[in-house]
Amino acid sequence: MSPMKEERDLSFQPVVNGAPRRLTPQQLKSYNESGYVMPFDAFTPAEAAKNRAYFDDLLAKVQKARSDLDAYSINGFHVHCAGLYDIVTNPVILDYVQDIVGPDVIAWGSHFFCKQAHDPRKVAWHQDASYWPLSPARTVTVWLAIDDATVENAAMKFLPGTHNRGHLKWREVGKDTAVLNQEIENIEQFGAPVYDELKAGQFSLHADMLAHGSDPNTSARRRCGLTIRYCPPSVKALNVHWSKGAILCRGSGTHGAWTYNPRPAGENYLAIAKAIGAN
């Protein structure tokens, strides 16, 4: 049986945490009811500027090595690049994530969504877990702002409460108009969106079944964000390839079947740039 055809549990499990480190009881209630919480501060303005410089340098090097790659192509580099590994394991971010997923925290994915100025493509309305051969759906995504994200430069937008609606029907859309190829049908029935406006260095948290997307960037300002995917080790990768890019951030990973990667020795971006073409 194909891994993606194997039965997945795509239900949302409400967070129960009587002693959170960072989130307030009201914020946990909001996460359970709306599917997201934001904004939170992870980096000072000076640190955010360093994150931006790091991304700019990494993107320049990757595109020099692979001129066919666009600004969305830095996907999964956290196990090859020490600077990105350090962002993923930032203790402030992990405190918030731990409040949602529990004391055992792994990071299995990272992806820079860099929407350049005047980028005509949207990120169509979608549910993250719809794409992933993982079960159960217990991943929380951190969206870390590398640049300031506003409505004007196509900040991400959420449809509150859709994480509790199950796997929503979607259609395929072309890559010439959209960054991702799934688009939820009849989206108007789910109400008005909430925009995830963040200053550089801030982040939001959203559940993997929450419908979200972003508009084309019609402004003259770039909008780059880093998505980091965290879950408890009890989540199962139905495709073994997906289990090999994990970092054990906190606690014990012994009750999972993930391969945990140590901190990289340097910035080995070529290890993945050469293999990205089939993604």
pTM of the predicted protein model: 0.94
Beta strands 157-158 and 170-172 are unpaired
Res. 19: pLDDT tops 50: yes
Res. 222: pLDDT tops 50: yes
Beta strands 247-250 and 105-115 are antiparallel
Question: pLDDT confidence of 6, banded at 50, 70, 90?
Answer: low
Q: What is the pLDDT of residue 202?
A: 98
The per-type count for the chain, helices as H runs and strands as E runs, is: 5, 14
**Mind listing the pLDDT tens digit for each residue in 92-144?**
999 999 999 999 999 999 999 999 999 998 888 999 999 999 999 999 999 99
Res. 277: pLDDT tops 80: no
Distances (CA, A) of 218 to 28, 50, 116, 146, 176: 34, 26, 9, 18, 16
Determine which helix (DSSP H) or strand (DSSP E) holds 56, and give its type and residue range: helix 45-65
All structural domains of the chain, each given as residue ranges with its CATH number in brackets, are: 33-278 (2.60.120.620)
Res. 279: pLDDT tops 50: no
